[in-house]
Chains A and B, each alone.
Chain A
Amino acid sequence: MVTSRFRALQPYLLSAPALAVIGLLFLIPSTYNVVLAFQSLSPYQSPRDAEAVGFENFADLWSSGDLPHAAFNTVFWLTAMTVVLRLLAGLGLALALQSPILRRWKLRGLSRTIILIPWMVPQVVAIAAWRWILDGRSGVLNQVLSGFGIIDGGIPFLAQTSTVWWSIIAIIVWRELPFVVMVLVAGLQSIPSEQYEAASVDGAGRWISLRSVTLPNLRPVLTIVVLVTVIQTFNNFVYVWLTTGGGPGNATAVLATELYTAAFFDNELGAGAAIGLLMTVIMAIFAVIYLRVTATKEDA
């Protein structure tokens, strides 16, 4: 009797440490973040001294005018552009890795390893390496461009508004491409070869079999890749913070850097929490709509 009750409790006891850390560091903080978003509090105050301010944090963010700008940057430049470029380049590289030509020349393993390299490099290190490549005075990109006579004088890639987003995009796509390639390769490998044979029997060329065999089969994998990369990139703080800090001016301000600045530079933890809440809501809405749209497509 006692032992059987103990046995029923066992899975809970075994999971207790995992549930404790998840509860204490994910569930309680994200709930508390909602409360905090409606309070005014500085990092030097105790949470007990927090002042309830209603929607003031949101009103202030709205009236400062920075928020729509940062939201647009986050959605369009940081997330949409890099995700689309990653998908296109990732699909190209994944198909190239599967090519029989690489197998003939026994280059598949080597190519795969080279494609994985950026993923093995920590994000901060990737940013450091690219900041040096893109350096306005002596970066290698400027030296090559002026060496070929394409430009004279260095381009400060990360310090002028016309190039800064493209530079950040290059860094993100470079570092985060391998993940997309590897997931797509796994997806491609699971497509039964009979389907390609059937398509070629029907006279389908390369382009048609890509459209009618490869892409439909990849759809479930693509759905998840898009979801994961969108959420991770949307919430990413490091790329913008360590390349430009949101500059020049506030040209590259994104929601994550605004949150960090509000909370830890302007000492308004409530304002930071409000931005955090807004980000969570945007991502939740995105995930729900996105999953619904992709699900109905699969039914049709």
Chain B
Amino acid sequence: MAASPQLAAQGATTAARAPRRRSRESRRPRDLLFLIPFGLVLAVIAFPVVWMLYSSLRPAQEISQGLTWHTVFSGLSLDSYARLFTETNFGRYLPNSIIVCVLSTAITVVIAVLAGFALSRFSFRAKPLMMLVLVATQLLPFVVLITPVYLFFAELRLLNSFAGLIIVYVAITTPLATLLMTGFLNAVPRTLDEAARIDGASTLTVIARVIAPLVWPGIVTVAVTAFIAMWDEFLFAQVFLTSESLKTVQVGIAGLFGEYGTDWGVVMAASVLAALPTILLFSLLQRRLVAGMTAGAVKE
């Protein structure tokens, strides 16, 4: 019985919706009942990062003291960052992480483009099995791999070397990178590379000269996704790199937690620097990365 007036109201609002959405009056005061609690939730979500940044800037002697309104912005300095580089080995960890992650990313991208091209352009007998393996490896627990891989690498003398870590990082990012790359390549019309083939170009030439320039944004997305995953990685780096001079940023931060009392200013400065690359890359490519990462995890 309530259906017919509602139907009429429905029609009326649809008719009136278009012009009303643009008018400022539609911002009703009642909206605040939603916006204020929602804003509080967002504030709670953002707080840890804001606090991390703020703590890294507070003077050492004040960081463990309570805040008052008078001292909120007094004495902010980069002192914690200076101590991070003079009193710890962090200055070494940063280039280590960059070297390992950049090299691994480059290798992963090449492998993913080649395999992605095969999966996107050819139909071959092992293709369904290969897709299944790619998805299945994403579900396999890395922590289970740690002991057997440790043994293999000990035999091959790859422990305590960047080479060993790079091999692991390439391997753990290759399945997702390949799945993402296949998706991007599927979106490129086949007629383009078929035309180049008729002109006599070899497969590798087609990939390098025709496909790569066309899927450039996809390649960037795959590279950034892989880089972020490697930059975040802790377990393999912790187990494989025991030598102080080889440690990565994440392992370095874990080493800053003291048994008795931690210099939180220094830890927060290290944390800001360790988060910076991911935050920058994420903000540059937000929409593509979110789409890529959620699709990657939800694939199949």
User: A and B, one complex?
Assistant: yes
A contacts, CB < 8 Å to B: 8, 10-12, 14-15, 17-19, 21-22, 24-30, 32-33, 36, 41, 43, 46-47, 93, 96, 99, 101-102, 104-105, 107, 111, 113-126, 128-133, 135, 137-138, 140, 143, 147, 174, 177, 179, 182-183, 186, 197, 200-203, 221, 224-225, 228, 231, 234-238, 242, 256, 259-260, 263-264, 269, 272-273, 276-277, 279-280, 283, 287
Nearest chain B residue, comparing its CB with the CB of A135 = B264
Q: Which of A18, A256, A273 is in CB contact (< 8 Å) with B148?
A: A273
Q: Which of B3, B127, B134, B234 is in CB contact (< 8 Å) with A124?
A: B234
Q: B45-53, B81-89, B186-194: which lies at the A interface?
A: B45-53
B226 on interface, CB distance cutoff 8 Å: no
Q: Which residues of chain A come closer than 8 Å to B297, judged between CB atoms?
A: 179, 183, 224, 228
A182→B2 CA distance, assembly (Å): 36
Q: Which of A22, A225, A287 is in CB contact (< 8 Å) with B133?
A: A22
B146 on interface, CB distance cutoff 8 Å: yes
On whether A121 and B298 interact (CB within 8 A), knowing A264-B239, A279-B143, the answer reads no
Tell me how far the C-beta of A178 lies from the nearest C-beta in chain B, rounded to whole angstroms. 9
A200→B11 CA distance, assembly (Å): 12
B213 on interface, CB distance cutoff 8 Å: no
User: Is the beta-carbon distance between B48 and A279 smaller than 8 angstroms?
Assistant: no
User: Is the beta-carbon distance between B141 and A231 smaller than 8 angstroms?
Assistant: yes
Q: Which residues of chain B come closer than 8 Å to A116, judged between CB atoms?
A: 282, 286, 290
A15→B239 CA distance, assembly (Å): 30
Which 10 pairs show the lowest CB-CB distances between chains A and B? A235-B141, A25-B171, A138-B64, A18-B115, A276-B144, A29-B148, A14-B118, A11-B122, A11-B118, A120-B282
B71 on interface, CB distance cutoff 8 Å: no
B215 on interface, CB distance cutoff 8 Å: no
Q: Which of B34, B268, B294 is in CB contact (< 8 Å) with A129?
A: B268
Which residues B18-69 have CB closer than 8 A to chain A?
Answer: 21, 26-27, 31, 34-35, 38, 41-42, 45-46, 48-49, 51-52, 55, 63-67
B168 on interface, CB distance cutoff 8 Å: yes
User: Is the beta-carbon distance between A36 and B171 smaller than 8 angstroms?
Assistant: no
Nearest chain A residue, comparing its CB with the CB of B130 = A15
Q: Which of B42, B167, B264 is in CB contact (< 8 Å) with A21?
A: B167
User: Is the beta-carbon distance between A22 and B42 smaller than 8 angstroms?
Assistant: no
A21→B175 CA distance, assembly (Å): 10
B154 on interface, CB distance cutoff 8 Å: yes
Q: Which of B46, B145, B154, B291 is in CB contact (< 8 Å) with A26?
A: B145
Tell me how far the C-beta of A148 lies from the nearest C-beta in chain B, rounded to whole angstroms. 12
User: Is the beta-carbon distance between A19 and B143 smaller than 8 angstroms?
Assistant: no
Nearest chain A residue, comparing its CB with the CB of B34 = A101
A104→B167 CA distance, assembly (Å): 50
A-B contact pairs, 13 of them (CB 8 A): A36-B148, A117-B46, A123-B234, A124-B274, A128-B256, A128-B270, A138-B63, A231-B141, A235-B144, A259-B144, A259-B146, A260-B143, A276-B141
Q: Which residues of chain B come closer than 8 Å to A105, judged between CB atoms?
A: 27, 31, 35
A203→B31 CA distance, assembly (Å): 23
Q: Which of B63, B143, B234, B270 is in CB contact (< 8 Å) with A235?
A: B143
User: Is the beta-carbon distance between A128 and B253 smaller than 8 angstroms?
Assistant: yes
B34, B42, B148 pick with most chain A CB within 10 angstroms: B148
User: Is the beta-carbon distance between A24 and B147 smaller than 8 angstroms?
Assistant: no
Q: Which residues of chain A come closer than 8 Å to B232, judged between CB atoms?
A: 122-124
> What DSSP secondary structure best describes chain B's contact surface?
helix
Nearest chain B residue, comparing its CB with the CB of A183 = B294
Nearest chain B residue, comparing its CB with the CB of A32 = B148
B42, B63, B127, B144 pick with most chain A CB within 10 angstroms: B144
Tell me how far the C-beta of B42 lies from the nearest C-beta in chain A, rounded to whole angstroms. 5
Q: Which residues of chain A come closer than 8 Å to B112, judged between CB atoms?
A: 18
On whether A30 and B140 interact (CB within 8 A), knowing A12-B124, A96-B38, A116-B286, the answer reads yes
User: Is the beta-carbon distance between B254 and A242 smaller than 8 angstroms?
Assistant: yes
Q: Which residues of chain A come closer than 8 Å to B270, judged between CB atoms?
A: 128
B151 on interface, CB distance cutoff 8 Å: yes
User: Is the beta-carbon distance between B286 and A113 smaller than 8 angstroms?
Assistant: yes
On whether A179 and B49 interact (CB within 8 A), knowing A123-B232, A237-B143, the answer reads no
User: Is the beta-carbon distance between B34 and A259 smaller than 8 angstroms?
Assistant: no
User: Is the beta-carbon distance between B145 and A25 smaller than 8 angstroms?
Assistant: yes
Q: Which residues of chain B come closer than 8 Å to A260, judged between CB atoms?
A: 143, 146, 235
B27, B111, B146, B152 pick with most chain A CB within 10 angstroms: B146
Tell me how far the C-beta of A14 lies from the nearest C-beta in chain B, rounded to whole angstroms. 4
Nearest chain B residue, comparing its CB with the CB of A271 = B147
- Beyond the given pairs A30-B148, A121-B275, A132-B268, 12 more chain A to chain B contacts, judged by CB atoms under 8 angstroms and listed by A's residue number, are A8-B124, A11-B118, A12-B126, A14-B115, A14-B203, A19-B130, A104-B21, A179-B294, A224-B297, A224-B298, A235-B141, A287-B139
User: Is the beta-carbon distance between A43 and B231 smaller than 8 angstroms?
Assistant: no
On whether A182 and B282 interact (CB within 8 A), knowing A14-B115, A132-B264, the answer reads no
User: Is the beta-carbon distance between A17 and B124 smaller than 8 angstroms?
Assistant: no
User: Is the beta-carbon distance between B122 and A10 smaller than 8 angstroms?
Assistant: yes
User: Is the beta-carbon distance between A133 and B111 smaller than 8 angstroms?
Assistant: no
